[in-house]
A and B are shown apart, each in its own frame.
Chain A
């Protein structure tokens, strides 16, 4: 069978000694940084991204994928042990996980998270292997107009799934797009928005933006209020769940995997939506909904599985279309481009070893996480007790080296400081950084496809609605926009009503 031989190729690439080692290093480093409180998967990857640039493309992406899973697992650990989710997708885990930890069931919660994630990861890896190739054949039929519409849909969806104000998230997308245009115009060679600084003529460094907006902004936020953290270290009980607990887990894990796999494919941060959706489903189905929020096992098992399944299937749009589904995938695109790989449907035919190697390494990475982290949990917990003021100078040093190592451009370091300030300002103004990053990555692609589509259609803008696939994508986008704004209007109305009642 084609699938099997492809997977075999993938596993032969991924299980080479060097690649296994990189995967292992990635997983460990990812967990190490991800376990730091308040630093989520995106910030972790942004900080560690430059380390991978010296490697071969395959090894580099395998290591990055490892960092991703590790960071996510680390994020769940902090969510459970100190109620500090690094990323919004593990915010749901914190609700019941932390309560379990407070009741002395931290070990159970951690094991549930790990096992649920592993199961979901296994299923989702197969889904990626099954669905990615046929999707690339569709994607190869995409013209400039379709790509433009698809990206518009991805951006709007990322807005829809972001927290807080939709307007602000839209504004962040547009700001990101504008920042993405800094550099030389590809058609005419005109420098744009470079302020006359020639070092920026290749565009703003993607790593600098990601490290600044996610990493440094995160550090500053943590420095606002330095207080001691309450770590649930003493109360970690046995790690292996009992037979009864395993039985309780099965349903939520299966449902979480299903929900996560479907939602993860959606462009625009499906993993976050997946964990929330799974939590809601479990609460609705539970015979004892009052238990939720007070340490329900299903409240950890479901969302963690959904989260991980979504994280995995979000590779599908990346590998087939070259469109990032979430900020982490945007980082992956950045890494691929730096490695000289053009993300998109051609990757699977031109570089099958890379394509299938990454898929296989996803599963290996997940396996390593379970094998490593359950015994190593004591070490991670100890790491949580390291004071923050020791950690961030180390992180700052790594960020500086990393950003500089990309292109040896000192102006990239100035950009890091600027984006750190911007990211902190954004968090103070309650603007989400994820849409900004997606906009930044997609900005140049969006413009290029828009211009190409317009040239191909001889300046006729109706090309976007007369081509069927493009029209469907735009209709979906419109539908999402309408949906997003309707409940908001309703909520605003409700507020008005309660005020008038008072």
Chain B
């Protein structure tokens, strides 16, 4: 380990910002830049990408020479179950329909806590599904198919 102090969080931030800027900048290359009188679709994004890269670089430079705060715990389990829930809902809401897709999404999200017992999560998902179907589908009349084509026999 080096003995020089550096703020690891800010090093990561700076590098990520520069990477994001590079990504946007790279995407801009196919867009027409235009002139400052008649700006093309690429003009403003190009300026912003450059600015973001510069800011990222500044954050990175300033990260050296000082100690950062610790990164803290990371909610791995939370991420593993919370983030897929809406994705799963999106993938299945057309095919399975609103009711089963919501039930499964809620069940997935419920697994994010280490304190949730399996039976309890099942119960919770059922309650959430029934309540949401009553409120959103019947109550507010949102145009969702309750059971989709995958379940039609």
A binding-site residues for B, Cβ under 8 Å: 51, 54, 165, 167-168, 170-171, 174-175, 177-178, 181, 185, 187-188, 190, 192-193, 195, 216, 219-221, 223-226, 387-390, 392-394, 396-401, 403-405, 408, 410-414, 416-417, 420-421, 424-425, 428-431, 446-447, 450-451, 454-455, 458-459, 461, 495
Pair B93/A410 contact, Cβ less than 8 Å: yes
Q: Pick the contact of B109 from A387, A397, A416 — CB < 8 Å? A: A397
Nearest CB of chain A from residue B112's CB, rounded to whole Å: 6
Kindly list chain A residues whose C-beta atoms are within 8 Å of the C-beta of B45.
178, 181, 192-193
For the residues of B in contact with A, the DSSP-based class is helix
Pair A393/B109 contact, Cβ less than 8 Å: yes
Pair A396/B85 contact, Cβ less than 8 Å: yes
In the complex, residue of chain B having the shortest beta-carbon distance to the beta carbon of A389: B113
Q: Is B94 an interface residue (CB 8 A)?
A: yes
Pair B44/A451 contact, Cβ less than 8 Å: yes
Nearest CB of chain A from residue B83's CB, rounded to whole Å: 5
Pair B48/A171 contact, Cβ less than 8 Å: no
* 7 A-B pairs whose Cβ atoms sit less than 8 Å apart in the complex: A54-B140, A167-B58, A193-B27, A223-B112, A396-B82, A400-B89, A413-B90
Question: Given A171-B55, A428-B72, A429-B9, is A390 in contact with B124 using a C-beta cutoff of 8 Å?
Answer: yes
Pair A413/B125 contact, Cβ less than 8 Å: no
In the complex, residue of chain B having the shortest beta-carbon distance to the beta carbon of A448: B44
In the complex, which residues 103-136 of chain B have their Cβ closer than 8 Å to any Cβ of chain A? Answer: 105-107, 109-110, 112-116, 121, 124-125, 128-129, 132, 136
Most buried by A among B41, B42, B56: B41
Pair A400/B102 contact, Cβ less than 8 Å: yes
Contact mask for chain B residues 70-101; partner A; CB cutoff 8 A; 1 contact, 0 none? 01111101110011111101110110000000
Assign chain B's interface to a size class. 35 or more
Nearest CB of chain B from residue A105's CB, rounded to whole Å: 32
Kindly list chain A residues whose C-beta atoms are within 8 Å of the C-beta of B142.
54, 401, 405
Q: Whole-angstrom distance between the alpha carbons of A167 and B125 in the complex?
A: 43
Smallest CB-CB A-B distances: 8 pairs: A459-B37, A413-B90, A223-B78, A389-B113, A185-B41, A396-B109, A410-B90, A171-B55
Q: Whole-angstrom distance between the alpha carbons of A316 and B71 in the complex?
A: 39
Pair B31/A190 contact, Cβ less than 8 Å: yes
In the complex, residue of chain A having the shortest beta-carbon distance to the beta carbon of B20: A175
Pair A396/B36 contact, Cβ less than 8 Å: no
Pair B24/A404 contact, Cβ less than 8 Å: no
Q: Whole-angstrom distance between the alpha carbons of A165 and B69 in the complex?
A: 13
Pair B86/A417 contact, Cβ less than 8 Å: yes
Pair B36/A461 contact, Cβ less than 8 Å: yes
Pair A393/B94 contact, Cβ less than 8 Å: no
Kindly list chain A residues whose C-beta atoms are within 8 Å of the C-beta of B40.
188
In the complex, residue of chain B having the shortest beta-carbon distance to the beta carbon of A431: B13
Kindly list chain A residues whose C-beta atoms are within 8 Å of the C-beta of B136.
401, 405
Q: Pick the contact of A393 from B32, B69, B121 — CB < 8 Å? A: B121
Contact mask for chain B residues 5-46; partner A; CB cutoff 8 A; 1 contact, 0 none? 000011011001100100010010001100111111111110
Q: Whole-angstrom distance between the alpha carbons of A195 and B27 in the complex?
A: 8
Question: Given A221-B75, A396-B109, is A187 in contact with B41 using a C-beta cutoff of 8 Å?
Answer: yes
In the complex, residue of chain B having the shortest beta-carbon distance to the beta carbon of A193: B27
Pair B37/A454 contact, Cβ less than 8 Å: yes
Pair B13/A168 contact, Cβ less than 8 Å: yes
In the complex, residue of chain A having the shortest beta-carbon distance to the beta carbon of B125: A393
Kindly list chain B residues whose C-beta atoms are within 8 Å of the C-beta of A226.
113-115
Pair B35/A459 contact, Cβ less than 8 Å: yes
Pair B86/A396 contact, Cβ less than 8 Å: yes
Pair A410/B37 contact, Cβ less than 8 Å: no
Given contact pairs A190-B31, A223-B112, A401-B102, a sample of 10 additional A-B residue pairs in the complex whose CB atoms are under 8 Å apart: A167-B58, A168-B59, A171-B52, A177-B48, A216-B83, A397-B106, A400-B89, A425-B16, A454-B37, A454-B39
